[in-house]
Amino acid sequence: MGLMMGETKARIFGIGRHRLTTDGEGVTTLVTFNGCPLRCKYCLNKTSWTMDKGRDYTPEALYEEVKIDQLYFLATHGGITFGGGEPLLQKDFIKEFRALCGPQWSLVAETSLQVPSETVQELNDVLDGYIVDIKDMNPEIYLAYTGKEIGLMLKNLEWILQHNEPERIKVRVPHIPEYNSEEDVAKSVEKLRTMGVVDVEEFNYVIR
């Protein structure tokens, strides 16, 4: 039996309003969940690794807090970008939130795709888009940097590429100091293009 509305909770450590073009189309609110399967060496959100900080929300409580911007979302085709941490770990929360906000808000997941394939497949019709941070397509670099094997991410990436229009998927490829070279990044981009990724964004990690 599925969860009843009101029973699902997730710990959220950040809600950032009025973001433009960084997390999807239009005006978006970034909601960042605690919990992550990776341990990236230069993680920008180590707060997500534990449950020490943040606040527990139900989908209803989050909806009540973010609906203040509904007019902006509807006018600009924006909505909520779920990040973290790994937002796809909060499968039931996201499904219940969709039921509350309806189909007009855009829901995007900023994800590593390091979650069970069943989760990705179950959420595909709930989400409007993905921002996938693949770190690097070289298995050795990926393992050294994230602490995880690359296979699950690749399997899930291949699946969403087969079951979505290309414009629904942005893949972000970072230049990671001490972990990948310009040549490594170029090889990652080439492999992604071969897989059918159209929207590839390179960026530089700024290490403090």
Q: Which of 29-43, 44-58, 174-188 has the lowest mean pLDDT?
A: 44-58
Q: How far apart are CA 92 and CA 166, in angstroms?
A: 26
Residue 2, pLDDT score: 41
- Does residue 68 carry a pLDDT above 80? yes
- Does residue 1 carry a pLDDT above 50? no
Q: Is the peptide bond before 84 cis (omega within 30 degrees of 0)?
A: no
Residue 194, pLDDT score: 97
**Helix/strand/coil for 172:** strand
pLDDT in tens, 101-133: 999 999 999 999 999 999 999 999 999 999 999
Residues 6+ apart with CB under 8 A from 77: 25, 26, 106
pLDDT mean over 85-92: 97
Whole-prediction pTM value?
Answer: 0.91
- Domains of the chain (ranges; CATH) run 10-204 (3.20.20.70)
**Helix/strand/coil for 28:** strand
Q: Maximum CA pair distance of the chain?
A: 50
Residue 66, pLDDT score: 97
Number of C-beta neighbours around residue 200 at 10 A: 16
Residue 7, pLDDT score: 83
Let me know: does 58 contact 6? Beta carbons within 8 Å.
yes
Q: How far is CA 128 from CA 39, 122, 160, in A?
A: 27, 13, 12
pLDDT mean over 138-149: 98
Residue 4, pLDDT score: 47
Residue 47, pLDDT score: 84
Number of C-beta neighbours around residue 26 at 10 A: 17
The percentage of the chain sitting over the pLDDT mark of 90, rounded to a whole number, equals 85
Residue 5, pLDDT score: 52
